[in-house]
Structure 1
Amino acid sequence: MDAFISLIDGFAVLSDPMNIVYMFVGIILGVLIGVLPGLGGANGVAILLPLTFSMSPTSAIIMLSSIYWGALFGGAITSVLFNIPGEPWSVATTFDGHPMAQQGRAGEALTTAFTGSFIGAFVAVLVLTFLAPIIANFALRFGPAEFFAVYLLTFCSFVGMGRESPFKVLAAMMLGFSLAAVGIDSVTGQLRLTFGSVELLRGFDFLIAVIGLFGIGEILLTMEEGLAFRGKSASINMKIVLETWKKLPKFWLTALRGSLVGCWLGITPGGATPASFMSYGLAKRFSRNGARFGKGEMEGVFAPETAAHAAGTSALLPMLTLGIPGSPTAAVLLGGLLIWGLQPGPLLFVEQKDFVWGLIASIYLGNVAGLIVVLTTVPLFAAILRIPFSIIAPIIIVICAIGAYTVHNALMDISVMLIFGVLGYVFKKLSYPLAPLVLALVLGDMAESSFRQAMLSSQGDLSIFWDNALVGTLVALSMIMLFWPLIALGLNAFRNRPPGRASETL
């Protein structure tokens, strides 16, 4: 009941007409970012974050989160019409979405994708509304040791549960920790890894690094691939929408399953991409028409889009309640909160109640507004893809440079951005994940601070990390997550072992 009352107060925050304007602007920009390959939710939020510095934190986070929702919606447009995933999580949508477009059912495929996205986000925001206060109240009991254990669990989850090689994840994470350590030690005042450079005294600004890693790195990779847009045209009218909506209720179990998968992988450091693939695989396995998946099956579009939007929305839950981002975009939003002087975590629900519930209310309203926008503007955004990428790419690079410069009004930051852009390009070419690097860059300082505070309070005794049930459980879960690949390998070997002689005798 308290959550419902707080949500009503959140909608009161949205009564400011400018917040509604920022929400629609963010959604339109987000759809545009989602449509253009080479950008994405994290990239768009990172590039446009400096433009929100003059806004209030509430208005800024509403606009930035709306960019994210719009990007989630927009990624389906290129997947269906051009067979080019606008976002990584839209890859699974291409499997059945583009065949539907080739069959002249583009409007039906897009309506299915947008509706699935809407349902997934709605379920996730319900989870966020009623679960976030409970987690926040529980986290108020956390001390430095518990917070470090949470950070450790996050890092270990990325290593053990990620799709990439654990060694590559560790390498990326270690580089992120090293970059986070550059500058002045906040505890001792000593210089670390500055090598006598005055420019490195303030360390590597998180925002500049993210703009380079995501924005410039993706553009360089896309330019190298010589991307060209060729696809089907599409139009959506009310008749197509209503006819599609009549068919979707029979997929209610697919929607529920996809939403649950998305919420789980959004809260844990899985993300929207594995959620979409897992939901697609489950739908194909349990569907009566599983054999027709990949040939233009509506359920094959509905399942991944539902899971991807659920994961993208629920990733905000650990970010708001514990200060742990569940996705790269949530990590960028976390950096924005820190820039605005807000500390994500359980106290945010106490000290900045209007901010938190205004954000949650904007997700409800933004989800509805996003569905309306994409259903009415598909032809317009599809036409943008007719512009040669050789024209779009330099414009994006200029926007990235402007965004990096406005952080500190320093030309040096543009050079740093370009260096990180090359680093992001190399990481992509070598198939090294960027998310662990970004996570370590954002949380490295906070994890170090929590560890040192715990050590000071225990006078250097490491037993503080297992001297009570809560912190001991978190550390134990961290170790299980870290060594999960080895544990899974051992379990598989045990299941597949040949029968023993005793069994043969019997």
Structure 2
Amino acid sequence: MEILSLLADGMLLSLQPLNILLILVGVTLGLFIGAMPGLGSVNGVAILLPITFLVPPSGAIIFLAAIYYGAMYGGAISSITLGIPGASTAVATTFDGKPLARQGRASLALVTAALASFAGGTVANILFTAFAPVLATLALSFGPPEIFALMLLAFATFVGLGGDDIPKTVFSICFGLVLGAIGFDQISGAPRLVLFDINGFLQGIGFLVLAIGVYGIGEMLWTIEMTRGEVTTSTPKLSMKGMASDAKEATRRGWKGTTIGSFLGFFVGILPAAGATPGSLMSYGVAKMVSRNPENFGRGNPDGVAAPEAANNSASTGSMLPMLTLGIPGSPTTAILLGGMVIWGLVPGPRLFTDETEFVWGLIGSFYISNVAALLINLSFIPLFIWMLRMPFTILAPMIFVLSIAGGYAATRDMFDIWLMVIFGIGAFFLRKFDYPLAPAVLAIVLGPIAEPTLRQSLLLSSGDPMIFFTRPIAGPITVIALILIFLPALKLLRRAPARQGAAE
């Protein structure tokens, strides 16, 4: 009952005129910041941080958290309408969101994304409110072996993302791991895989640059190739009755992905250095793995939109938990928020909940209000997003190209990354021509930089003994499940081979 009383006080604080204005402005700004390729929540929060010095600390954190929420919702907009991920957290949304838009069902994709985001945020808020201290302790029990086991489980879910062609899928994963290893070694600091001694490779391959190149420029080239120059865009119809119908269909067809994303995303979000991007990608893989019709993923399955969107919103709330309770940021965005709290004179950690009760519960209360505000604002802007799809492709294609270039430059302000992005786009186009799956490579470049150092740290802890991944109480079961999921597709292929050979005879 005490928690409910504190939550009620926090909601009342967040509903004060100044704070509710900050929530509405922050969510709206975040929505459009998230939709702009190359910006995302990190840049949005960093750019607008100085504005918060004009308001009290409680209003400041509420404003920045609202931007964070809005950006998580907004990332799906350009992923669905243009096929360009607004942020790294929305890459998985592109896999099924863009195919739905091509089929003239962009409204269904956008409504599914909004409802799944709301559900993921709601589940995360409830878990955060009820179990913050317990979950913070659980997150601390995840050392390098446990995090590597979790990453291995994530890799196991990608094996099915490339269809039945296991060799091409494995090649795609390995290619992504190689790209993720370019730059300075995270442990020794030595440069590696620096092609032709070009200094630009020392900073590594930026994931957002890769994602925009593959799903922006590459997708545009593929569309032109498939239509042989006779490119037309879908002309979706929109009405209030149609949106209500889409909401029913989204609930009916996307509930499983929403459930998976809501819980898995929050769990991954509370782990330090994980964040919303791995959570959304893992949720997509798990949703496909447990689906009765996994072959429909990548072709416009609402579950493929719901899972990552529920996950990235759930993970964004989850990443706040270690920041507030332990002073450990769970994502790049919360690292900026942590810096802001220090500037405001607040000390994150276990005592924050007792020393700054009004601040903490005002923030938690704002999570609930921001979630509702983001849903309503997002749904109200859907007609504007649909209007974008009615443009002739002769206008849309150059706009996609310009947005891709501008987004890539905004992320790093380095022309080397722009050329790299164009090369990735052309490379993705040719990989698709030869039927190589792109999703496993994109996923591998996200999780590779997390998996590699945790693997090496684990082996250092065990003096090189790999049994550390099997003997620890948390890492052991996760590792076993991951290995089973990795070898399961191979066993299915071995069983099919004699059947095909018999049919041929």
For the 8 Å contact 1:121–1:310, the answer to whether it is kept is: no
Aligned with residue 74 of structure 2, among 67, 84, 106: 67
Q: 2:381: which partner in 1?
A: 373
Equivalent position SS for 2:391: coil
Q: Aligned pair in 2 of structure 1 residues 49, 160: CA closer, same or farther (>3 Å)?
A: same
What CA distance in whole angstroms lies between the structure 2 residues aligned with 1:202 and 1:92?
34
Identical positions, percent: 26
Between the aligned partners of 2:102 and 2:217, the Cα distance in structure 1 is: 28
Residue 183 (structure 2) pairs with residue 180 (structure 1): no
Task: Report if aligned partners of 1:184, 1:203 keep a CA contact under 8 Å in 2.
Answer: yes
Asked whether the equivalents of residues 261 and 307 of structure 1 are also in contact (C-alpha less than 8 Å), the reply is yes
Q: Distance in 1 between matches of 2:416 and 2:112?
A: 44
Aligned residues, how many? 420
Runs of 5+ in structure 1 lacking a partner? 34-43, 76-85, 99-108, 283-302, 324-333, 494-506
> Letter of the aligned partner of 1:457 in structure 2?
L
1:275–1:311 Cα contact (<8 Å) kept: no
Distance 2:368 2:427 in 1: 35
Distance 1:204 1:13 in 2: 40
Within a 5 Å distance, the mapping from 1:15-414 to structure 2 comes to 15=19, 17-27=21-31, 45-46=37-38, 52=44, 53-56=46-49, 58=65, 61-68=68-75, 70=77, 88-90=95-97, 119-131=115-127, 133=132, 137-160=137-160, 163=163, 165-194=165-194, 195-224=196-225, 225=227, 226=229, 228-229=231-232, 234=237, 236=239, 240=241, 255=251, 258-264=254-260, 267=264, 305=302, 308-309=305-306, 311-317=308-314, 337=333, 340=336, 362-374=370-382, 378=383, 381-414=385-418
CA separation in 2, counterparts of 1:187 and 1:355? 36
Closer, same or farther: CA 385–119 of 1 in aligned 2, 3 Å: closer
Which whole-Å deviations, capped at 9, do the CAs of 1:46-74 have from their partners, x for residues lacking one? Answer: 46678634234646533421213545886
**Map of 1:457 onto structure 2:** 461
The answer as to whether partners of 2:117 and 2:313 remain within 8 angstroms in 1 is: no
CA distance in 1, matches of 2:185, 2:75: 34
What is the CA-CA distance between 1:281 and the residue it aligns to? 6.8
CA contact (8 A) 2:125 2:368 kept: yes
| Contact 1:124/1:313 (<8 A) preserved | yes
Is there any run of 5+ residues in structure 2 with no aligned partner, and where? Answer: 50-63, 83-92, 265-278, 295-299, 321-329, 340-347, 354-359, 498-505
| Structure 1 contact 50–407 (Cα < 8 Å) conserved | no
Determine the C-alpha separation between the residues in 2 that align with 1:309 and 1:255. 9
Whether the aligned pair in 2 keeps the contact of 1:136 and 1:321 (CA below 8 Å) is no
- Matches of 1:10 and 1:424, distance apart in 2: 47
CA distance in 1: counterparts of 2:209 and 2:233, whole angstroms: 33
Among residues 432, 438, 460, which one is paired with 1:428 in the alignment? 432
Do the aligned partners of residues 349 and 259 (structure 1) sit closer, same or farther apart at CA in structure 2, a change above 3 Å counting?
farther
2:47 aligns to what SS in structure 1? coil
Q: 1:142 to 1:335 in 2, by over 3 A?
A: closer
Over aligned residues, Cα RMSD in angstroms? 4.9
Moved more, 149-158 or 87-96: 87-96
Distance 1:165 1:271, change over 3 A: farther
Q: Distance in 1 between matches of 2:94 and 2:363?
A: 29
* Change in 2 beyond 3 A, CA 1:8/1:492: farther
Instruction: Assess, with a 3 A threshold, how the Cα gap between structure 1 residues 3 and 216 changes in structure 2: closer, same or farther.
Output: farther
Find the counterpart in structure 1 of residue 448 from structure 2. Answer: 444
The alpha carbon displacement at 1:11 in A equals 9.1
Secondary structure at the counterpart of residue 147 of structure 1: helix
Q: Select 2:481's aligned residue among 462, 477, 483.
A: 477
The answer as to whether partners of 1:180 and 1:440 remain within 8 angstroms in 2 is yes
CA offsets, 1:266-300, max 9 Å, x none? 74856569969998979xxxxxxxxxxxxxxxxxx
Matched-pair contact (CA < 8 Å) for 1:73–1:370: no
TM-score, normalised to structure 2, is 0.65
Q: What does the per-residue CA deviation read over 1:408-450, in whole Å, with 9 as the maximum and x for residues that have no partner?
A: 4322221111112212222333333333222222222221111
TM-score by length of 1: 0.65
